Structure 1
Amino acid sequence: MERQVKFAILRRYESLCYQICHYLIQHEPSASEAAKEALLSIAVDACFFTDSDETRKEKVRRTSIRMSLLRQNHGSLK
């Protein structure tokens, strides 16, 4: 699959990813970082690009939640 096609697919889920991260973290810079990390993590999942829309949304939800929790835990350790 071409890189531009993958970028286009990821962009469709960017807003959902950020919304979840922001809801959980409630701090814009940290939410942006968590969303970026989540999307980068999703980008290396080759199956993501051939999954159904519902499966993609579920992967985005799970990854966004995981990255948000990691970011919150990492921030609390400082």
Structure 2
Amino acid sequence: MDRHVKISILRRYENYCYQICHYLIQHEQHASQAAKEALLSIAGDAFFYTDSDETRRQKILRTSIHKSLLWQGNGLQHQTMV
């Protein structure tokens, strides 16, 4: 599949991904980073591009939650170390 087509598909889910991350993290910069990591992770899933919209949304949701929890945990660790 063409790179530009893949980017176009990922962009359709960019806002959804960020909304999930921001809801969970409640910190704009960390949410942006978590969303970026989630989308980069999903970009490597070859099946994502041929999945149905519902399956894509489920993958975005799971990956966004996972990355948000990692960022939240890293943020808490950083705060306790300072």
Aligned to 2:72: 72
Aligned to 1:61: 61
| Structure 2: tracts of 5 or more residues without a match | none
Please report the TM-score for the alignment, with normalisation by the length of structure 2: 0.94
SS in 2 for 1:31: helix
Q: Give the counterpart letter for 1:60 in structure 2.
A: I
**Cα drift, residue 17 of structure 1:** 0.0
Aligned to 1:26: 26
Cα deviation digits, residues 15-72 of structure 1 (max 9, x gap):
0000000000000000000000000000000000010000000000000000000000
**Cα drift, residue 76 of structure 1:** 1.2
Give % identity: 69
Please report the TM-score for the alignment, with normalisation by the length of structure 1: 0.98
| Structure 1: tracts of 5 or more residues without a match | none
CA root-mean-square deviation: 0.4
Give me the whole-angstrom Cα distance separating, in 2, the residues matched to 1:3 and 1:37.
18
